[in-house]
Amino acid sequence: MTTALRTVNPKARSRFSVAKPRKSVALTVVMLLFLIYALVPLAWLVINATKEQADLFSSFGLWFGDRFALWDNIGATLTYRDGIFVRWLGNTLLYVIVGAGGATLLATLAGYALAKYAFPGRRAYFAVVLGAVAVPGTALAVPTFLLFSQMGLTNTPWAIIIPSLISPFGLYLIWVYTIDSVPTELLEAARLDGASEMRTFFTISIRLLAPGIVTVALFSIVATWNNYFLPLIMLSDPAWYPLTVGLNQWSAQASGVAAEPIYNLVITGSLLTIIPIVAIFLFLQRFWQSGLSAGSVKQ
């Protein structure tokens, strides 16, 4: 057999060889430009968070000031106005854990049920879900505010948590992912063995759905963490602000008529705000990539 392999025609052997990826200088340059576009604002934020208030306007934005004041800025940010930044951070974590966590749970249960159970009206529900995905959240903010104001829920955490529980895109993603990742034959075998539907879901299906669940959780966490317009119109008490609205209030306070010199606190607070979400994204990135690529190739 070894001799036969050695006598194979080189032309025939080349047909079975793996083609090397082609390099494109133009695409490389474009990707470098996108990388610079993404990293320069982050570099500006990190560098300016190390400056004192006086150095923010007297030195070049992408270079350090006369004194490294990052730790002083962090301490001042966390203690300003009796630690209101820490309260805003706690509020944001509350909205993310309850709102994004609940959205992930509901999307998983509903998407799995729609993918694996037949019932009347399923196609109509599919159309409703697709329509809901196409509607931007800002278009529903004002009607939601009017509804919640009549219910007496404005200026409460429920005004942020309840709308965050609805994730049409997450439901659709779980729906599509379940169709390709959970074989119906496996569920039928579990039923024949006497397993209940709940046991089948929590012992078999949820393990197969793990990448999709993590993907939906990541999208929900990012959307809730960066939510700005809904808390802006729903909340009037600064004690319930998330970080997005609170930092915007600080920025307006620093540039208003009676301006306070707190630009260093705004910049440092912005840096502290993105650290948790960046850490979560980097930790869940591998699950996110596998969840997006699942089902792209038919077996």
Please tell me whether residues 46 and 97 are part of one structural domain.
no
Whether residue 4 is contained in a domain is answered as no
Q: Which element (helix H / strand E) includes 131?
A: helix 122-134
**CA 218 to CA 214: how far, in whole Å?**
6
Q: What pLDDT is recorded for position 257?
A: 57
Whether residue 16 is contained in a domain is answered as no
Which domain-ending residue is among 43, 68, 93?
68
Q: Which residue is associated with the tokens 């270079």? A: 63
Please tell me whether residues 100 and 212 are part of one structural domain.
yes
Q: What pLDDT is recorded for position 288?
A: 60
**CA 218 to CA 285: how far, in whole Å?**
9
pLDDT tens per residue, the chain (299 residues)?
444 444 545 554 445 455 566 778 888 999 999 999 999 999 999 999 999 888 888 777 788 888 888 999 999 999 999 999 999 999 999 999 999 999 999 999 999 998 888 888 888 888 888 888 888 878 888 899 999 999 999 999 999 999 999 999 999 999 999 988 888 888 889 888 888 888 899 888 988 898 889 989 989 999 999 999 999 999 999 999 999 999 999 988 887 656 678 889 999 999 999 999 888 888 877 766 554 544 444 44
Q: What pLDDT is recorded for position 4?
A: 45
Nearest residue to 78 via CA among 252, 277, 265: 265
Which domain-ending residue is among 13, 40, 68?
68
Please tell me whether residues 61 and 121 are part of one structural domain.
no
The answer to whether 135 and 205 are in contact (CB under 8 A) is no
Please tell me whether residues 228 and 113 are part of one structural domain.
yes
Q: How many domains does the chain have?
A: 2
Structural domain that includes position 34: 26-68
Please tell me whether residues 194 and 60 are part of one structural domain.
no
Whole-model pTM?
0.83
Whether residue 6 is contained in a domain is answered as no
Please tell me whether residues 218 and 113 are part of one structural domain.
yes
Whether residue 89 is contained in a domain is answered as yes
**Three-state DSSP state, 195:** coil
Which domain-ending residue is among 14, 40, 68?
68
Please tell me whether residues 101 and 236 are part of one structural domain.
yes
Whether residue 42 is contained in a domain is answered as yes
Whether residue 105 is contained in a domain is answered as yes
Please tell me whether residues 64 and 95 are part of one structural domain.
no
Encoded tokens for 42:
């982050």
Please tell me whether residues 164 and 206 are part of one structural domain.
yes
Whether residue 73 is contained in a domain is answered as no
Q: What pLDDT is recorded for position 117?
A: 87
Q: What pLDDT is recorded for position 1?
A: 44
Please tell me whether residues 176 and 215 are part of one structural domain.
yes
Q: What pLDDT is recorded for position 256?
A: 67
Whether residue 111 is contained in a domain is answered as yes
Q: What pLDDT is recorded for position 45?
A: 92
For 275, other C-beta atoms within 10 Å of its C-beta total 9
CA distances in angstroms from 264 to 35, 55, 57, 251, listed in the order given: 26, 9, 11, 10
Please tell me whether residues 96 and 197 are part of one structural domain.
yes
Q: Which element (helix H / strand E) includes 147?
A: helix 137-151
